[in-house]
Structure 1
Amino acid sequence: MKRGGIVNAQLAGALARLGHTDTLVVCDAGLPIPHGPEVVDLAFRLGIPGFGPVLEGILEELVVEEAVAAREVEGANPDCHALLASRLPELKLVPHWELKLRAADARLVVRTGEATPYSNVILRCGVPF
């Protein structure tokens, strides 16, 4: 058994398969999930697991060179915006409709049980060297 980190086998494996410039979406329970990307659906009940803990766990495992969130998060969900801005200094904001279009090109979608609006981010993988 692993000593720690992400213990969900499907998620740990999916993250390990990501390479430089691959993108993944960490999303709330309401974001439409496009056909195509691998999906790891962690949602159990509304709010469980939350977006923040899932994002934090993923950020402990990945090198991120770019992050994109919906511009609407600033006004509609200031707590989520504060989390994103503090943890992802390379954060770019785009209209929500554009975020949904970009999500279709992701290699992986990680769906949380988060039930607050605009709790979504697209992460582009970097390299540790």
Structure 2
Amino acid sequence: MKRGGIINAQLAGALARLGHTDTLVICDAGLPIPRGPEIVDLAFRLGTPGFGTVLEGILEELVIEEAVAAREVERENPGCYALLASRLPELKLVPHWELKVRTADARLVVRTGEATPYSNVILRCGVPF
């Protein structure tokens, strides 16, 4: 058994398969997920697990070179925006419709149980050197 980190076998394996420039989406329970990307659905009940918990766990595992969120998060979900801005200084904001379009190009989508609108982010993987 692993000592720590992400212990969900499906998620740990999916993260290990990501490479430089691959993108993954961490999303709330309501984001439409297109056909194509691998999906790891962590949602158990509305609110569980929360977006912040999943984001923090994934950021401990990966090198991120770019992050994209919906522009609407600034106004509609200031708590989520504050978290994203503090943890992802390279955060770019786009209209929500564009974020949904970009989701189709992701290699992995991690669905949380988050029930707060606009709790979504696209992360592009970097390298540790």
- Matches of 1:9 and 1:36, distance apart in 2: 21
1:119 paired residue number: 119
- Summarize the alignment of residues 1-129 of structure 1 with structure 2, pairs less than 5 Å apart: 1-129=1-129
- Structure 2: how far apart are the matches of 1:29 and 1:76? 16
Structure 1 residue runs without a partner (length 5+): none
Distance 1:45 1:31 in 2: 15
Q: Distance in 2 between matches of 1:23 and 1:69?
A: 13
Alignment-mate amino acid for residue 98 of structure 1 = E
CA distance in 2, matches of 1:37, 1:2: 26
Which blocks of at least 5 consecutive residues in structure 2 are unaligned?
none
Structure 1 residues 70-91: Cα deviation after superposition (integer angstroms, max 9, x where no partner): 0000000000000000000000
What is the SS of the residue equivalent to 1:67?
A: strand
Q: Percent identity?
A: 90
Distance 1:90 1:13 in 2: 26
Distance 1:50 1:37 in 2: 21
Superposition TM-score, scaled by structure 1 size: 1.00
SS of structure 2 residue aligned to 1:80: helix
Deviations 1:6-53 (A, max 9, x none): 000000000000000000000000000110000000000000000000
Residues of 2 paired with 1:14 and 1:3: CA distance? Answer: 18
Which runs of structure 1 show a deviation greater than 2 angstroms over 4 or more consecutive aligned residues?
A: none
2:32 counterpart SS class: coil
- Following superposition, the deviation at residue 5 of structure 1 comes to 0.1
Alignment partners' CA distance in 1, 2:75 and 2:60: 27
